[in-house]
Structure 1
Amino acid sequence: MTLRLGFVPGATPDKWARAWRDRSPEPLEMILLEETDTPRAALDEDRVDMVLGRMPIEGDDLFCIPLYEEQPVVVVGKEHPAAAYDELTADEFADEQWALGVPEGITSRVEQLPFPPMTWKDAIEVAASGTAVVQVPMSVARLYQRKDVKAVAVTDLPTTRMALAWRKVDDGERTQAFVGVVRGRTTRSSR
């Protein structure tokens, strides 16, 4: 039986997938979730057995293990004044137009343009044009990296937390074996 692992854009489950393949005869299917797809929906619709996604992934019927935090960045066009810096504070971006709306932790001092709904990839393209900027996790900025933009770390915005989640009804030896891989357990260690 194949273990189906869903993951959100920017997540990097490769090292865990390699370790699983080295340890388990059971196949692992890696399923990239669409940006508009929620980890919870993928679990609820039984498209995946486990999911690597951004918190919150909530529900009393789920197990959820927080894994690591992602640094927030603002992606700007190469000609933007912020592109001269590697990191800034949120206040430095108070006068910007935001392609995906003003992020939590930033107080805008300008009226925002009504941008249509768009993906992170589309928003980074808008940032490249110089029309607006976009805040994303660093992993997403790396995924959609372009030569005409720069990702500037924002030191005082909240981080994003990645987690591994699965339904309690699906908990068993197989899911616990994968949890062991994620937690760095060796084949000789026990829970």
Structure 2
Amino acid sequence: MDRQDDQGDGSRIDVEVDGADHDQEVATPALTVAFARGVNPGKWARIWNERRPDDELRLVRVDLDEQREVLRSGAVDVALVRVPIDTEGLNTIALFEELPVVVFAKGAALGEHDTVETAALAEEQLIMAPLVLGWADQADTLGFAAPAAPLTSDPEAAIELAASEVGIVVVPQSVARLHQRKDVEYRPIVDLPPVPVLLAWPRDREDEALEEFIGIVRGRTANSSRRSAPAETPAAAAPQQTGKRRKPPKAGSTPGTAAGTSRGAQLAARKAKQEALARERRKKRKGR
């Protein structure tokens, strides 16, 4: 299904979600961007529309097991992906990190503290495979080494089951916020690592529209966003000389200052004049 998001300024962003019928497409977008569930590309899409109002930007939501495939197959041009992902053959830029959280029914014992540790989850029913890093390392101690088949692979459905006190869901915080309900709560899991979010695109893919979007995500201005990012080295960061030649200093001037205009030059000239007058007066006295 396709959804058209009206941005309120006359511009339009096409958002494609699961189950889209590609046979009904009538126009080729200038750029197709995939985004992991919970990641919000809205800010960058609005900037795109401001700079390129005549070029369609298509957004496609993907889940963890799809994000590598859509890039490999060429179904999308660039993607906002969540780690873990196989980055072989991809260029990536680290954007930000998300907290891993556990979602549970409102009023459950897990909500007694502001944070939880994985050990507190050992007796809970895991509704779906966690979408966070580090969980496999904790599986043996938690008793999830050989868990029963997940009840669902859809985060929204899993959180709905959590609301019914069926079990818990472990997801990045943005996913918990996306599917927030009045009958569930979530808490950060302090002993799991944060979940990185990356911008990723195929290494062999280069075109002007892609460079524009990469520039927008990296915060480059409209005047510079169409250029590839320079190498982040000290030499590249140093200001470049313009090649203009400096005019030679005028006679009697101090290097770096305009002749006769600096306070130091004026005082030196006055002192030299006073000394010359003093020498003249001494000569006159001797001649008497």
What is the TM-score of this pair, normalised by structure 1?
A: 0.88
Q: In 2, distance between residues paired with 1:77 and 1:122? A: 14
Aligned to 1:104: 136
Q: Which moved more, 1:115-124 or 1:141-150?
A: 115-124
Percent of aligned pairs sharing the same letter: 36
Aligned to 2:9: none
1:61 aligns with 2:89: yes
2:197 counterpart (162, 165, 183) = 162
1:123 counterpart (158, 164, 168) = 158
Q: Is the alpha carbon distance of 1:135 and 1:60 closer, same or farther for their aligned partners in structure 2, counting shifts above 3 Å?
A: closer
Indicate the structure with greater strand content.
1
Q: In 1, distance between residues paired with 2:137 and 2:182? A: 28
Q: Is the 8 A contact 1:7 1:53 kept in 2?
A: yes
Q: Which has the larger radius of gyration?
A: 2
- Cα RMSD (Å) of the superposition? 2.2
Q: In 2, distance between residues paired with 1:6 and 1:60? A: 18
Q: CA deviation at 1:169?
A: 2.0
Aligned to 2:80: 52
Residue aligned with 1:88, SS: coil
**Could you list the per-position Cα deviations for residues 120-170 of structure 1 after superposition, in whole angstroms to 9, with x for gaps in the alignment?**
112112211112111000000011111110011111212111111111222
Q: Which moved more, 1:75-84 or 1:108-117?
A: 108-117
Question: Could you tell me which amino acid in structure 1 is paired with residue 69 of structure 2?
Answer: A
Once superposed, which parts of structure 1, at least 4 consecutive aligned residues long, lie more than 6 Å away?
A: none
Q: Which moved more, 1:46-55 or 1:113-122?
A: 113-122
Aligned to 1:188: 223
Residue aligned with 1:170, SS: coil
Q: Which runs of 5 or more structure 2 residues have no equivalent in the other structure? A: 1-28, 230-288
Q: Which moved more, 1:93-102 or 1:145-154?
A: 93-102
Q: Which moved more, 1:162-171 or 1:103-112?
A: 103-112
Question: Could you tell me which amino acid in structure 1 is paired with residue 112 of structure 2?
Answer: A
Identify the structure with bigger relative contact order (alpha carbons < 8 Å, sequence gap 6+).
1
Q: CA deviation at 1:112?
A: 4.7
Question: Could you tell me which amino acid in structure 1 is paired with residue 37 of structure 2?
Answer: P
Q: In 1, distance between residues paired with 2:166 and 2:156? A: 15
Q: Is the alpha carbon distance of 1:120 and 1:48 closer, same or farther for their aligned partners in structure 2, counting shifts above 3 Å?
A: same
Question: Could you tell me which amino acid in structure 1 is paired with residue 111 of structure 2?
Answer: A
Aligned to 1:14: 42
Residue aligned with 1:142, SS: helix
Q: Is the 8 A contact 2:30 2:209 kept in 1?
A: no
Aligned to 1:26: 55
Q: Is the 8 A contact 2:35 2:61 kept in 1?
A: yes
Q: Is the 8 A contact 1:64 1:163 kept in 2?
A: yes
1:92 aligns with 2:120: yes
What is the TM-score of this pair, normalised by structure 2?
A: 0.60
Q: Is the 8 A contact 1:55 1:163 kept in 2?
A: yes
Q: Is the 8 A contact 2:118 2:142 kept in 1?
A: no
Count of residue correspondences: 190
2:187 counterpart (128, 140, 152) = 152
